[in-house]
């Protein structure tokens, strides 16, 4: 899992800030994206202390409480549902008493907030969270609301944060979706690969790693020719996650320093040394995951002479793990 920097952006303090605005490069080097809705709530509401009320009570406060009360209740509700999901996956009882009767309550609360077209700018955050929770609980209506939120008008989402987070959430839960919703989510993210927003393309390429299908592979393969280093790399890593080796030439390219150096010459703010290091190591690891050979002399050079100490250490570990090295 990638490390996540969470901005403290209070609800209603201006344009919403995506939790991932500064994570596009780190995301590139994550072979399996794991994003929980809890992160979105931190990003949207800031770090607040969840209330000890029941889920139903929190939901009532989300609908009818004051501004700060709604923030607290939304956070508490998300935490409770995530704890319920964790308990369910481990075959345990949830301490919050959430069962199949809660989803209709959640769906009804979301319906009371209206459609995206009926919202105002400061009203988007909590409907977004409720839709995300519905989707995480497997509700098709919540999934389709998130799909709609990838197309929120700019006037409601000037910074694009909600659109971006909707894409990430669809990708994060993609493998748990029923087939109709998974196909619809994949189609949405594939269409977004044609966006003029570089970040949206990158987020979509990342999310597609959890939305398998023949159209997904075809779309990601097309991204391997993108002029952007990070989009080419993300597409290749997503293909690895899908068990496809078409991106091997890109992975071999991205295991070297040159692509990052070349792009940084044109865009000096891109590719800090640590991000280059992470990206190179993930490209190398992806090659090994696919069973692709790494030439002995190349691995020797990395282990002995690479200017990046982390790449040197990684190469030495690979040498130790594989004898003989192909």
- Residues 277-296: pLDDT tens digits? 999 999 999 999 999 999 99
Buried b (16+ CB within 10 A) or exposed e, 104-132: eebbebbeebeebeebebeebbbbbbbbb
Q: State in Å, rounded, how far the first CA of the chain is from the last one.
A: 29
User: pLDDT tens digits, residue range 112-168?
Assistant: 988 877 877 667 888 888 998 899 888 999 999 999 999 998 888 888 888 988 998
Determine how many CB atoms are found less than 10 A away from the CB of residue 88.
14
Residue the block writes with tokens 């839709």? 131
Mean pLDDT rounded to a whole number for the chain: 82
Q: pLDDT confidence of 38, banded at 50, 70, 90?
A: very low
Contacts of 154 (CB under 8 A, 6+ apart): 160
pLDDT at 100 over 90: no
Contact yes or no for 167/192 (Cβ under 8 A): yes
State both tokens at 48: 């607040």
What does the alpha-carbon distance between residue 28 and residue 272 come to, in Å, rounded to a whole number?
13
Give pLDDT, residue 286: 94
| H or E stretch at 300 | helix 296-305
Q: What is the pTM of this model?
A: 0.83
- Give backbone dihedrals phi and psi of 33, rounded to 5 degrees, phi first: -80, 130
What does the alpha-carbon distance between residue 277 and residue 293 come to, in Å, rounded to a whole number?
20
What does the alpha-carbon distance between residue 203 and residue 234 come to, in Å, rounded to a whole number?
9
Contact yes or no for 287/252 (Cβ under 8 A): yes
Contact yes or no for 53/195 (Cβ under 8 A): no
């Amino acid at each position: 899992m990638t490390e996540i920097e969470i901005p403290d952006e209070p609800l209603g303090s201006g344009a919403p800030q995506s939790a991932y605005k500064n994570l596009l490069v780190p995301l590139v080097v994550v072979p399996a994206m794991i994003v929980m809705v809890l992160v979105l709530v931190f990003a949207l509401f800031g770090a607040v202390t969840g209330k000890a009320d029941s889920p139903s009570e929190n939901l009532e406060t989300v609908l009818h409480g004051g501004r700060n009360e709604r923030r607290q209740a939304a956070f508490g509700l998300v935490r409770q549902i995530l704890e319920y999901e964790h308990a369910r996956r481990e075959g345990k009882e949830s301490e919050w008493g959430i069962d199949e009767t809660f989803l209709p309550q959640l769906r009804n609360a979301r319906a009371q907030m209206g459609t995206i077209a009926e919202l105002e700018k400061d009203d988007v955050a909590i409907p977004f969270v409720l839709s995300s929770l519905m989707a995480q609980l497997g509700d098709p209506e919540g999934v389709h609301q998130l799909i709609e939120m990838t197309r929120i008008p700019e006037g409601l989402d000037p910074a694009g944060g909600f659109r971006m987070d909707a894409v990430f959430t669809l990708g994060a839960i993609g493998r748990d979706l029923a087939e109709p919703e998974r196909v619809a989510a994949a189609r949405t993210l594939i269409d977004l690969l044609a966006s003029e927003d570089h970040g949206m393309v990158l987020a979509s390429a990342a999310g597609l790693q959890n939305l398998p299908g023949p159209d997904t592979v075809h779309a990601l393969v097309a991204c391997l020719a993108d002029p952007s280093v990070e989009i080419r790399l993300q597409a290749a890593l997503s293909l690895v996650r899908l068990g496809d080796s078409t991106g091997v030439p890109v992975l071999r390219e991205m295991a070297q320093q040159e692509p990052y150096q070349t792009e940084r010459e044109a865009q000096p703010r891109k590719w800090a040394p640590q991000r280059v290091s992470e990206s190179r190591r993930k490209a190398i690891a992806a090659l090994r995951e696919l069973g692709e050979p790494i030439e002995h002399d190349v691995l020797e050079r990395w282990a002995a002479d690479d200017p990046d100490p982390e790449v040197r250490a990684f190469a030495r570990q690979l040498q130790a793990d594989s004898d003989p090295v192909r």
